[in-house]
Amino acid sequence: MLRLLLFLVLTMFLPHVSANDGFEALSVTTNPDGSQEYSVTLQVLAIMTALSFIPAAVIMMTSFTRIIVVLAILRQAIGLQQSPSNQILVGMSLFLTFFIMAPIFSQIHEKAVQPYLNEEMTSVQALQEAKEPIKEFMLSQTRISDLETFAKIAGYEKLDSPEDTPFVVIIPAFVTSELQTAFIIGFMFFIPFLIVDLVVASVLMAMGMMMLSPMIVSLPFKIMLFVLVDGWSLVMGTLARSFGLGV
């Protein structure tokens, strides 16, 4: 999995490298006295720097953003401030992301990682092959309006098709679309709990219990409603199907 993510991150750093180029990781210089000096090139430094961007790639180039935002909105809708905790939400989002992205990672492994390990293609060729599945996934989840907006900002006025859009334009457009979709799904999940809050507040007001917070009374009912409808299964299934799984 680490190798797959490294391939994805390196595609952002090496967009213009020729497919015939390779990575000269170590250069050896022979001195006049016969001794040798070893120096690591800047390419290795770029690779090590790219490793630090793996968390950002997981968050911004996969389904993680939509999932974590929806779960955070859901927790707020129920009225639970600290349960499930942030660590649990991040863990759930991470593993659900691996589940949703499994077909994409399998394509990258078959088309790029395995041929590269078998020395059937160079590292740059493997990076180019690894970029295609993730690019196809991101384009399938990106709104055309968001893509056009960022393409115009970047100065790409004429593009024959979305597939011709540069990777640096697709990423912000994809993130924007994911946030938009996450808020739409979160709004749909918010409505039933909002109705419960309104009903409880109206009943308390009718009974003259002005000093009692409606949140205290409505919280058990919202939790009970969520459990009765098998809420977690419904939420996870909805998130998975929103990416085209099981459709």
Helix (H) or strand (E) holding 40: strand 36-40
Q: Which amino acid is at 99?
A: F
Q: Where are the domains of the chain?
A: 63-243
Least confident of 11-15, 46-50, 119-123, 199-203: 11-15
% of the chain with per-residue pLDDT over 90? 9
Q: What is the pLDDT of residue 176?
A: 92
Write the DSSP string, 58-93.
HHHSSTHHHHHHHHHHHHHHHT-SSSS-HHHHHHHH
Around Cβ 134, how many Cβ atoms within 10 Å? 24
- Average pLDDT of the residues in 100-113: 85
Instruction: Say what the pTM is.
Output: 0.75
State the Cα–Cα distance between residues 79 and 89, nearest whole angstrom: 15
Mean of all residue pLDDT scores within the chain: 78
Q: What is the pLDDT of residues 68-95, one digit of tens each?
A: 999 999 998 888 878 888 899 999 998 9
Within 13 Å of residue 136, how many CA atoms lie on the same side as its CB?
11
pLDDT classification of 178: cutoffs 50, 70, 90: very high
- pLDDT at residue 38 above 60? no
Decide if 127 contacts 101 (C-beta within 8 A). no
- pLDDT at residue 161 above 60? yes
Main-chain phi, psi angles of 245, to 5 degrees: -80, 135
Q: What is the pLDDT of residue 23?
A: 46
Q: What is the pLDDT of residues 184-228, one digit of tens each?
A: 999 998 898 888 888 888 888 888 777 777 778 888 888 888 889
